[in-house]
Amino acid sequence: MAARILLVRHGKTEWSSSGRHTGRTDVPLLDEGRRDARLLGERLNSAPWHGLPGVEVRTSPMGRARETCEIAGFGDRAAEWDALREWDYGEYEGRTTKDIREETGTDWYIWRDGVPGGETPVEVAARADSVVEWARSADRDVLLFAHGHILRVIGARWLGYETSFGGCLSLSPASFSVLGWAYGAPAVGRWNDTGHLD
């Protein structure tokens, strides 16, 4: 089994900064997002991480995740993987939660209600499960560069919870998280760590 699964959310984009759901639209990193990716790379190339020698790297094929991976210094080791794409938000792509709630007159919550014309929570969980299964079958650490919601679902599924538990796992742009084991059970080693941005 993998000793650890390390997660990186891509750096800031215009849409992530304004709270717009960014699934399949390939919105580029802001200059701030690129700077944050560099700071993350500096951190991962310093003690105690030392560049994570031997880590297996996968990235979402979306430009914002790939560029974060490259700027952080892991692009030459990364393989793209469709399973790491962000949740397909369907008709809610590019919309904010506030706008959706005003339009629908509901207290819409993606973790409970899903999205019309996009992926269901069950479908997103199936993708996350494939990532967790792959990570657990590896005999070395794995490092994933992806997006806020899919990484939160991976966190939930790693711990054995339903997709909706991802709603309890806040995740900031350019954050670093580690999932591992404690007494043989899946555990959180660190979550939403942005110390490199302080």
What CATH number is given for 5-197 in this structure? 3.40.50.1240
Taking only the tens place, the pLDDT of each residue in 66-98 is 999 999 999 999 999 999 999 999 999 999 999
Is 88 annotated to bind ligand? yes
In sequence order, the 6+-apart residues with CB closer than 8 A to the CB of 135 are 2, 5, 142, 158
Task: Indicate which residues carry an active-site annotation.
Answer: 10, 86
Is 89 annotated to bind ligand? yes
Domains in the chain: boundaries: 5-197
Mean of per-residue pLDDT scores for the chain: 95
Residue 2: the pLDDT is 64
Taking only the tens place, the pLDDT of each residue in 163-187 is 999 999 999 999 999 999 999 999 9
Instruction: Indicate the burial class of 25 (C-beta count within 10 angstroms; 0-12, 13-18, 19 or more).
Output: middle
pTM (2 decimals)? 0.95
Task: State the Cα–Cα distance between residues 40 and 33, nearest whole angstrom.
Answer: 10
Q: Is the Cβ–Cβ distance between 90 and 118 less than 8 Å? A: yes
